[in-house]
Copies of this chain bind each other. A is one copy, B any other.
Amino acid sequence: MKESDRRTAEGILYTDEYQLTMAQMYFRAGLHERRAQFDHFFRSYPDYDSHKAGYCVNAGLEWLLDWMGDASFRDEDIEYLRQTKGRTGNPLFAEDFLAWLKSSSPGFFTPLTIRAIPEGRVVHPNTPITVVEGPLAVAQILETSLLSHLNYQTLVATKAARIHDSARGNMVMEFGLRRGQEKGANAGARAALIGGVNYTSNVGISHVLGLPPKGTHAHSMVQVFMSLGMSELVAFRAFADVYPDDCTFLVDTIDTLRSGVPNAIKVFEELRRKGHEPVGIRMDSGDLAYLSIRAARMLDDAGFPNTSIVLSNDLDELVIWQIITQISEEAERYGVDADHLIARLVYGVGTRLITSWGEPALGGVYKLVAVQDDSHTAWRPAIKISESSEKTPNPGSKNVWRLYDQRCKATADLICLSDEDLRSMPKITLRHPSDHTKVRVLDSQELCDIEPLLVDAYKDGVVLNNHASIDDMRARRQADVERLDAGVKRLVNPHIYHVSLTENLWNLKQELIQSAMQSSR
């Protein structure tokens, strides 16, 4: 895409057509500046088919707010809308509406106020993660871009947290740039770093985030030397000459155990004689668990018990789990200490992380929950009935709190109406969002903490509380994950974390459902 086209495609027109037609309709009805409130949330954890997440890691807000700061209707955007025709050839957008868009720019999104759960925090389905309040037409036009920025990063941060977990804290590198959705892979790399990988091979995004990029070398390097009549050994030596202290050799260009590892060891010995310590080897094909055992034995025997063994090739949390299990079972047979080998493994994770393989999209939505009434003073809650009752969104202006039990483990996220203060309630009633038979009552005294999750993120065009570094977000994730019950963190068949409604919110929801159903009869 050409640069000028990119500015068009990634500016305020980075949206769905219906947002603009609805905005004009609100304008015509005199409702465009009526204050409204939209909740962003997702309905269910990623389900990767053979396994499923029990929690998500929130990510993407900072880049959304950056986008909002830049996006406004430019003259060329207005001119494009002016040229847009309806089915019968008439202009779709009227001049007065275009004039309003234009007069609202730059700073088109400035009238909005946003509260949000910070990036890096653990989040759960059906809780409001991002709450947008402001003029109806402006909040409506934000929808598509908001979802685009938040859905994907949360999806990948979640997958990264699972991979981090299955890798038992060993180093994980993100390698997926070539397999993502083009430039979207940059957002994926950022989310992966928040969610749990240590580094990415993506140079540009590392630069932007202030982290060092990581990498090894490709098969092509060995091939170049071989096709010029030289050998894998010569290629390794040439690489070692340039990077004597940063040598990780890819050992599977020809034959891992008969060529790659022996050649790597030869060059490692040469390096050591010159006073350098080799870093490791990488294997990108074959039975990685078996090959690492055999390679570890060869490295151990040669006096390199601590060089890393980097594994890559369609890894994800389950494949890493399988590799570790296989090593635990088989290593001893080859005279290798399984725990020692597992501790020296490093994982390069590409395709399956950047795409969230098995569930490549998070179904985050943005639903109208309240509109100010004609007096412009009171909020009228909004409802949308769904065929399945668990899909009916929670109405009204709300807050969300996290309740920690006596062990200081998170026991539930509780959604309440804005005017409810959980900290003043001696007994807290938790209702299941759709199943009326499920009620739980907690004694406040017995809780370790009651924590509000939403913080101010954007007001009057100013970004608030959002100066966190990637490390800050990682620290939030780590703290939240530690406060999850072990069952919720299982890679397969996790426990269901409780997301509940207060009695007041439950009652409001039921009233609105009844009233909407009656109006349709």
Chain A residues at the B interface, C-beta cutoff of 8 Å: 1-3, 5, 8-11, 13-22, 24-26, 28-29, 31, 34, 36, 38, 60, 63, 66-67, 70, 80, 84-88, 90, 92, 136, 140, 143-144, 147-149, 151-153, 175, 177-188, 201-208, 212-224, 226-229, 231-232, 238-239, 241-243, 245-246, 252-255, 258-259, 279, 285-286, 351, 354-357, 360-364, 367-368, 370-371, 373-374, 380-387, 391, 516-517, 519-521
Contact = CB atoms under 8 A, between A and B. Distances in A.
A296 to B, nearest CB: 19
A19 B19 CA distance: 42
5 contacts: A8-B204, A16-B202, A148-B180, A182-B187, A255-B520
Contact of A255 (B3, B66, B517): B517
B203 A17 contact: yes
A152 B136 contact: no
B18 A367 contact: no
B357 A66 contact: no
Given A15-B203, A147-B178, A151-B179, 15 more contacts: A1-B66, A14-B202, A16-B215, A18-B201, A28-B241, A87-B279, A181-B355, A183-B184, A224-B368, A224-B382, A226-B516, A254-B519, A259-B519, A259-B520, A354-B361
Contacts of A143: 178, 218
B148 A242 contact: no
A351 B355 contact: no
A182 B203 contact: no
A18 B248 CA distance: 11
Contacts of A16: 175, 177-178, 201-203, 213, 215
A55 to B, nearest CB: 21
Contact of A226 (B87, B179, B207, B382): B382
A240 to B, nearest CB: 10
A29 to B, nearest CB: 5
A20 B203 contact: yes
Contacts of A60: 182
Given A5-B208, A17-B214, A207-B80, A86 B245 contact: yes
Contact of A224 (B36, B84, B357): B36
A385 B227 contact: no
A285 B254 contact: no
The residue among A31, A215, A286 with the most chain B CB atoms within 10 A of its own CB is: A215
A186 B185 CA distance: 13
Contacts of A226: 382-383, 516, 519
The residue among A85, A186, A214 with the most chain B CB atoms within 10 A of its own CB is: A186
A1 B62 CA distance: 7
A-B CB proximity, top 5 nearest: A184-B184, A181-B184, A18-B215, A17-B215, A181-B181
Given A22-B220, A204-B15, A255-B517, A153 B136 contact: no
Contacts of A516: 226, 254
A53 to B, nearest CB: 16
A258 B387 CA distance: 13
Contacts of A8: 204, 207-208
Contact of A86 (B243, B259, B373): B243
A149 B246 contact: no
The residue among A16, A151, A187, A201 with the most chain B CB atoms within 10 A of its own CB is: A16
A231 B519 contact: yes
Nearest to A24: B242
A388 B329 CA distance: 26
Contact of A374 (B187, B228, B354, B368): B228
A371 B229 CA distance: 11
Contacts of A187: 1, 181-183
Given A21-B243, A25-B239, A9 B224 contact: no
Nearest to A368: B220
B136 A151 contact: no
Given A148-B182, A520-B232, A520-B259, A2 B66 contact: yes
A255 to B, nearest CB: 5
A282 to B, nearest CB: 10
